Structure 1
Amino acid sequence: MLLFTIEHGDRIPPTLKINAGLHLQDRSTATITPDLLQLTDLDTTTSNLTYLITLLPRYGKLLLKGTGLPSPPRFFQTDIDHLDLAYQHNPGSPAELDQFYFLPSDGTNKGYLEFGQLREEPAVFNIQVEKVDRISPSLSHTESPSTIVDLGAGRYGIFITSRHLQGSDPDSPLEQLEFFIIRPPQFGFLENAATGASISRRFTQQDLDQRSVLYILPVDVNVTADSFQFRLVDPAGNQAPPLMLELFWSRVQLLASCYRTCETSGSLQIQIQRSGRSVDPAYVSIQVSLDLG
């Protein structure tokens, strides 16, 4: 009688089936799951499929059950399957592409299979760290506008530009900063000088840079000051505390609409009344007509 002994032989290298990489926000920790990294092997148990680390991440660290990797650094497919492997981005490190290099191993064969080809060089697991904007914007310059412009048709306005409101944000494009109106002006209203549309909710730093924000003075109320409250917001949604812009101007009036005098009188006293802001220069136009009668 002949006895045959059949020994199981491991002839097939492991296959790197999935190497999708990881995306996470800066200063955060994310689990490396089987749908991101997976080894398979027809003749090796999962518990023996090993990832031998040849180069550790630069901007973060790999954690195994919340602690560092053993020495020499390695982990198993079962660690991934049990959700025990994670990557932690280091606070203060740049939000850039990070990665670690590894050699898949079944403990017997040399190399591993990827896309049907035998490879012996280390594989790369890419980690894309996305920078999160956590800094609120602020006003780097504010000044009360006061220069009145004659818009024609009995309308007068004050341009609000980047000279009066200038936002600042270290991690956002300045032209994309938005000014959300919390309380509109009490007497006049804001208008887009480029489109003629009323501004009721928001305008941008770019609108200020392009001189598109206009405060329209009230015609039926005798006031020389107004204000509106706003909140400065960056594209990520970070908000500054509520802020207020005050507008001041002056009104100049002649006490009489018409003065009569003779050319031999020498001089004529014209009484002018000015109210409101007196810092800026004011101008009055007078038309002279000759009475030949």
Structure 2
Amino acid sequence: MYQHDGSEVFQDEVFLEVTDGTNSAEFVLHIEVIPVNDEPPVLKPNLIPMMHCSEGGEVGITPEHIFATDADSDDLKLLFLIAREPQHGVVRKAGIDVDRFSQEDVISGAVTYKHTGGEIGLAPCFDTIILVVSDGEAGPLVNGCCHNGPNPSVPLHESFPMYKLNITVHPIDNQPPTIIIGKKFVVDEGFSAALTTHHLTASDPDTAPEDLEFVLVSHPQFGYLENTLPSAGFEKSNMGISIASFQWRDMKALHINYVQSRHLRVEPTADQFVVYATDGEQRTLETTFRVIINPTNDEAPDFVVQNITHMSVTSA
């Protein structure tokens, strides 16, 4: 009986000598070993198990991310079966959603991950694909002329390797902010009042409020806005200096004031300015912000005296 050693060598030879004690003859018995699909695929070492994708974007899955070899199968025919689908996207081959693909597809650049989870907000989100690597084929059929072992058309290995591919989805600034007018803003005539986020604010799904800026399109008629924070590198307050824009974070910190400066002999009861919010890329519509001015008794009365002429009439 000939017993193969299980290696991937498919030809062997046995040198035989037959003798009757006096005479002998030599011959070589050639043995052809029928291959059996008994070796599981092996993942290539030093793969990159992490990919980066922009929000709403699509990136290729390349041999740097996933690649395997198989001692008794065609490497190009190895299959990657998706055991767990990504939660925030899909795997595609040539633009079509798939649940499996071949290594040949990966090498040709046809396999991609596409983020389909919509707006992710300010922070990155994370996705995962779990893949099973299969040789996807069995050995050649054998008629049984010289093989009495298990049917080699059935793979003899019990398990296939699994692979975890992680994807980091990064946010992009593609949503405009929204400006919000809050409660009434009231200031006493001749005084100033802090403009707060309770009066005026903005929100943006992909920008932090601290990074939003308000820009004046038209200034108030009877006053101005000021930012009391000192300029960078200085200690002196900028109180009394009119500004054309301000940051949300400065308003949150109560550094933005409306100063009611024009009131002598005018007695205004209302003012307004037009403003929009921007994240540096997108902007809101222009919005009118209204100011209510409480009149104060701050002016001395004018005393007007005119000469009175009395015409007296005397009788003759």
TM-score bracket, normalised by the shorter chain, equals: 0.5 to 0.7
Matched, 1:123 2:149: no
Q: Which has the larger radius of gyration?
A: 2
Matched, 1:162 2:202: no
Matched residue, 1:192: 227
Which letter does structure 1 place at the counterpart of 2:275? F
Q: Point out the structure with the larger strand share.
A: 1
When normalised by structure 2's length, the TM-score is 0.59
Q: Equivalents in 2 of 1:120, 1:53: separation in Å?
A: 13
Contact 2:41–2:69 (8 Å) recurs in 1: no
Matched, 1:256 2:302: yes
Number of matched pairs: 240
Contact 2:213–2:248 (8 Å) recurs in 1: yes
Q: 1:221 to 1:16 in 2, by over 3 A?
A: farther
Q: Equivalents in 2 of 1:183, 1:42: separation in Å?
A: 75
Instruction: State the Cα distance separating 1:5 from its structure 2 match.
Output: 8.3
Matched residue, 1:245: 289
Matched residue, 1:74: 100
Equivalent residue in structure 2 for 1:181, among 202, 207, 216: 216
Matched residue, 2:113: 87
Instruction: State the Cα distance separating 1:242 from its structure 2 match.
Output: 0.9
Which letter does structure 2 place at the counterpart of 1:139? I
- Runs of 5+ unmatched residues, structure 2: 1-26, 137-154, 231-236, 304-316
The CA deviation string for residues 240-274 of structure 1, in whole angstroms up to 9 with x for no partner, is 201122334346422238xxxxxxxxxxxxxxxxx
Instruction: State the Cα distance separating 1:186 from its structure 2 match.
Output: 4.9
Pick which of 14-23 and 237-246 moved more: 14-23
The root-mean-square deviation of aligned C-alpha atoms, in Å, is: 4.0
Matched residue, 1:269: none
Matched residue, 2:149: none
Contact 2:195–2:251 (8 Å) recurs in 1: yes
Which letter does structure 2 place at the counterpart of 1:143? K
Matched, 1:22 2:51: yes
Report 1:1-293 matches (<5 A).
Answer: 13-17=41-45, 18-39=47-68, 45-69=74-98, 73-91=99-117, 96-106=125-135, 121-132=161-172, 134=175, 136-141=177-182, 143-148=184-189, 156-169=191-204, 173-186=208-221, 188-195=223-230, 196-197=237-238, 198=241, 200-218=243-261, 223=266, 224=268, 226-234=271-279, 237-249=281-293, 250=295, 252-256=298-302
Instruction: State the Cα distance separating 1:75 from its structure 2 match.
Output: 1.3
Instruction: State the Cα distance separating 1:239 from its structure 2 match.
Output: 2.2
Q: Equivalents in 1 of 2:197, 2:81: separation in Å?
A: 57
- Runs of 5+ unmatched residues, structure 1: 112-118, 150-155, 258-293
SS in 2 for 1:254: coil
Q: 1:48 to 1:120 in 2, by over 3 A?
A: closer
Pick which of 25-34 and 5-14 moved more: 5-14
Instruction: State the Cα distance separating 1:166 from its structure 2 match.
Output: 3.2
Instruction: State the Cα distance separating 1:226 from its structure 2 match.
Output: 4.3
Contact 1:51–1:77 (8 Å) recurs in 2: yes
Which letter does structure 1 place at the counterpart of 2:227? N
Contact 2:222–2:271 (8 Å) recurs in 1: yes
Instruction: State the Cα distance separating 1:23 from its structure 2 match.
Output: 2.3
Q: Equivalents in 2 of 1:29, 1:20: separation in Å?
A: 17
Residue identity (%): 23
